[in-house]
A and B are shown apart, each in its own frame.
Chain A
């Protein structure tokens, strides 16, 4: 008897919901981000095929490895970022009620994989050997220290409500329109703001600050390596909004195929639009201002919902 499981996992990783599917969806979402941002800034914005031609251009150019760079980590960092995003993707239920590679505790693994995405950015910055990279890496790490605890606390609230660390169970809890966003709005806002930092959306885009440190950790990258970074940043838009939809917006709502997939993608689209409005209406924080905001106000938001959960389960609200 042939064991199809490895083949199925590979198909999931590369086709659905892995590389091919998420590439197309994130192409669309990234284009929406750029076009909507442009329109809200009173300008035209790029055509629909812009992300693709950007990638084609980057992959057709020459990669220059700077002399001062640590070559192994310089090349490894973008690959790490891409791989961690794709792995996180197959651990999340995309529209359907179960993830392709689900297992108990996969919420924690997803949080760690998304942390790897941030850390590989910092690794890229320090491995590139330029002062801009060093400053970008230090800012990225400060930002991670600021928001990671908040992210974990905020993501814990749906896990507490579902009494399980399995993302499938969290999604199943919200089936039928019973979204956790309604019950725990503060935790949802806290997680949304952490996702904003992971996506480098203003006001939290100081590691990438174009006007201050050229391109931060990505300054010395050119050609296909920069193409892989571009791809990773594009995919992050889908992966992170998918996580938010799974945690707080009910995932696929348990509907039948193809409605579940459609509703999932529409919800992701709404998250992308909200992120775009954040980006457009804000200036950039300094790193110390962002750090203090995370550890005070936003952490408080996550804590409020944890306290509400304990109080509520004691009093029998849910």
Chain B
């Protein structure tokens, strides 16, 4: 199948070789196919093909009740699982006019920021590994284990946290748990400051990432980049400040931006955001010590037919949007999620051209691609005729006779 793609594409020059990165590659966490046309070590053209991670979640959601869809939304992505869950719940709460109690909002914010810490530490480790600095990769992930232990103690699982429900959260955080979180946050802050100095101050790392993979401000705005990718290119957007949700209008934090747009700026933005997240967590913990109240709204929501709602959150990778339409029953009519990686991925060919192959993996990792979030459709290429068509998973399943199961 891939051979036909290469035949169809017009190479930049006949002497260029095509280096495939993906679908299986040690540099990638999830499958994606980058085609790089190279001359020697220099990349002259790049193309991206996605679709290897498509699971049809949006279609599955149209068959299940709002409550069950929370668990589907969580499983779109493992790293930003709570972001998806919060975005979904926020949107359904908008749809049904449900007011979330204060304590629930703070708990949601606390877990959200803990997830951001874990995601940025994961990214920093993976970035170091791609430069070749395995040691820092292992040590950063050792620090990440502190956060994972915290999340496991607070929510019951490390990755799929399942703490959100429509109208609030399912689990309360007790006083000793708050004390434990506070202690661990102090340890984590020291470890993070150490890691930030180690990464930002190391000369070899600086030599590898400075001036590489530049995304200009104009390009970032034109392609609609979001999240740290855009903030590192001088675009000052952050959903937590511009359109606050949960408890973000009641905590103070800075939005970190840089104007160079290169990989070093992205590293700086993410690591400094880490420190901001720790400060937000501390504020939430302080507030939760004295805040009382229930953790879930007691109203039974009504979803009128034809109602639609938009919900936005700032996932670790950028702005995540959910759009839900209801039809009067407890099963949504349509759920659409616009994930940050979906808009960040197309900026990659712009960043890859005129760089070397050695830098390609770290540039790809620089936008923190989450391919589980990206895939929406599948392109099926007939190996014999070379014809290609784009289908939804449902059409493919119906055509090849698999039974479409309704639970």
Residues of A within 8 A of B (CB): 40-43, 131-132, 134-135, 138, 202-203, 205-206, 209-214, 280-289
B64 within 8 A of A: no
Contact A131 B26 (CB under 8 A): no
Select from chain B the residue with minimum beta-carbon distance to A202.
Answer: B132
B135 within 8 A of A: yes
Known contacts: A286-B356, A287-B41. The answer to whether A131 contacts B133 by CB under 8 A is no
Contact B360 A212 (CB under 8 A): yes
Instruction: Kindly provide the distance from the CB of A298 to the nearest chain B CB, expressed in whole angstroms.
Output: 16
B205 within 8 A of A: yes
Contact B204 A283 (CB under 8 A): yes
Contact A41 B135 (CB under 8 A): yes
- The residues of B that contact A281 with a CB separation of less than 8 Å are 135
- The residues of B that contact A286 with a CB separation of less than 8 Å are 208, 356, 358-359
- The residues of A that contact B27 with a CB separation of less than 8 Å are 211-212
Beyond A131-B19, A285-B132: 7 further Cβ-contacts under 8 Å?
A: A131-B17, A135-B19, A211-B26, A284-B133, A285-B204, A286-B358, A286-B359
Residue among A41, A206, A209 making CB contact with B139, cutoff 8 Å: A41
Select from chain A the residue with minimum beta-carbon distance to B356.
Answer: A286
- The residues of B that contact A289 with a CB separation of less than 8 Å are 207
- The residues of A that contact B128 with a CB separation of less than 8 Å are 283
Residue among B40, B131, B202, B360 making CB contact with A284, cutoff 8 Å: B131
Q: How far is the CA of A138 from the CA of B25 in the complex (A)?
A: 20
Contact B135 A40 (CB under 8 A): yes
Contact B135 A211 (CB under 8 A): no
**Contacts A/B (CB < 8 Å), 7 sampled:** A41-B135, A42-B142, A131-B20, A135-B41, A211-B129, A283-B128, A283-B132
B286 within 8 A of A: no
Q: How far is the CA of A192 from the CA of B142 in the complex (A)?
A: 32
Instruction: Kindly provide the distance from the CB of A285 to the nearest chain B CB, expressed in whole angstroms.
Output: 7
Select from chain A the residue with minimum beta-carbon distance to B126.
Answer: A211
- The residues of A that contact B205 with a CB separation of less than 8 Å are 283
B197 within 8 A of A: no
Instruction: Kindly provide the distance from the CB of B58 to the nearest chain A CB, expressed in whole angstroms.
Output: 33
B62 within 8 A of A: no
Instruction: Kindly provide the distance from the CB of A134 to the nearest chain B CB, expressed in whole angstroms.
Output: 7
Q: How far is the CA of A173 from the CA of B362 in the complex (A)?
A: 49
Contact A205 B26 (CB under 8 A): no
Q: How far is the CA of A102 from the CA of B361 in the complex (A)?
A: 48
Contact string, B97-129, partner A, CB cutoff 8 A, digits 1/0?
000000000000000000000000000000011
Contact B358 A283 (CB under 8 A): no
Instruction: Kindly provide the distance from the CB of B131 to the nearest chain A CB, expressed in whole angstroms.
Output: 5
Residue among B132, B138, B142 making CB contact with A205, cutoff 8 Å: B132
B169 within 8 A of A: no
- The residues of B that contact A40 with a CB separation of less than 8 Å are 135
- The residues of A that contact B72 with a CB separation of less than 8 Å are none
Contact B26 A287 (CB under 8 A): no
Q: How far is the CA of A79 from the CA of B289 in the complex (A)?
A: 68
Select from chain A the residue with minimum beta-carbon distance to B142.
Answer: A42
Contact A42 B358 (CB under 8 A): no
Contact string, B1-33, partner A, CB cutoff 8 A, digits 1/0?
000000000000000011110000111000000
Select from chain A the residue with minimum beta-carbon distance to B20.
Answer: A131
B357 within 8 A of A: yes
Contact A283 B202 (CB under 8 A): yes
Q: How far is the CA of A287 from the CA of B42 in the complex (A)?
A: 12
- The residues of B that contact A214 with a CB separation of less than 8 Å are 25-26
Contact A287 B358 (CB under 8 A): yes
B337 within 8 A of A: no
B298 within 8 A of A: no
- The residues of A that contact B208 with a CB separation of less than 8 Å are 283-284, 286
- The residues of A that contact B358 with a CB separation of less than 8 Å are 206, 209, 212, 286-287
Contact B204 A203 (CB under 8 A): yes
- The residues of B that contact A280 with a CB separation of less than 8 Å are 134-135
Q: How far is the CA of A214 from the CA of B136 in the complex (A)?
A: 20
Q: How far is the CA of A282 from the CA of B205 in the complex (A)?
A: 9
Q: How far is the CA of A282 from the CA of B198 in the complex (A)?
A: 12
Residue among A41, A42, A211, A288 making CB contact with B132, cutoff 8 Å: A211
Residue among B19, B41, B130 making CB contact with A211, cutoff 8 Å: B130
Q: How far is the CA of A135 from the CA of B133 in the complex (A)?
A: 21
Select from chain A the residue with minimum beta-carbon distance to B128.
Answer: A283
Select from chain B the residue with minimum beta-carbon distance to A215.
Answer: B26
Instruction: Kindly provide the distance from the CB of B78 to the nearest chain A CB, expressed in whole angstroms.
Output: 21
- The residues of B that contact A213 with a CB separation of less than 8 Å are 357
- The residues of B that contact A285 with a CB separation of less than 8 Å are 132, 204
Q: How far is the CA of A205 from the CA of B18 in the complex (A)?
A: 23
Q: How far is the CA of A135 from the CA of B18 in the complex (A)?
A: 11
The A-contacting residues of B in range 196-212, CB under 8 angstroms, are 202, 204-205, 207-208
Select from chain A the residue with minimum beta-carbon distance to B28.
Answer: A211
- The residues of B that contact A131 with a CB separation of less than 8 Å are 17-20
The A-contacting residues of B in range 360-398, CB under 8 angstroms, are 360-361
Instruction: Kindly provide the distance from the CB of B194 to the nearest chain A CB, expressed in whole angstroms.
Output: 13
Contact A209 B17 (CB under 8 A): no
Q: How far is the CA of A280 from the CA of B136 in the complex (A)?
A: 9
Contact A211 B359 (CB under 8 A): no
The A-contacting residues of B in range 15-65, CB under 8 angstroms, are 17-20, 25-27, 40-41
Residue with the greatest number of chain A CB neighbours at <10 A, chosen from B25, B135, B138:
B135
Q: How far is the CA of A285 from the CA of B206 in the complex (A)?
A: 11
- The residues of B that contact A211 with a CB separation of less than 8 Å are 26-27, 129-130, 132, 361
Select from chain A the residue with minimum beta-carbon distance to B207.
Answer: A289
**Closest 3 interchain pairs by CB?**
A284-B132, A283-B133, A41-B138
Q: How far is the CA of A210 from the CA of B25 in the complex (A)?
A: 9
Instruction: Kindly provide the distance from the CB of A242 to the nearest chain B CB, expressed in whole angstroms.
Output: 27
- The residues of A that contact B131 with a CB separation of less than 8 Å are 283-284
Instruction: Kindly provide the distance from the CB of B47 to the nearest chain A CB, expressed in whole angstroms.
Output: 15
Contact A212 B139 (CB under 8 A): no
Q: How far is the CA of A206 from the CA of B136 in the complex (A)?
A: 18
Instruction: Kindly provide the distance from the CB of A276 to the nearest chain B CB, expressed in whole angstroms.
Output: 11
Contact A203 B134 (CB under 8 A): no
Select from chain A the residue with minimum beta-carbon distance to B138.
Answer: A41
Instruction: Kindly provide the distance from the CB of A196 to the nearest chain B CB, expressed in whole angstroms.
Output: 14
- The residues of A that contact B25 with a CB separation of less than 8 Å are 214
Q: How far is the CA of A286 from the CA of B355 in the complex (A)?
A: 12
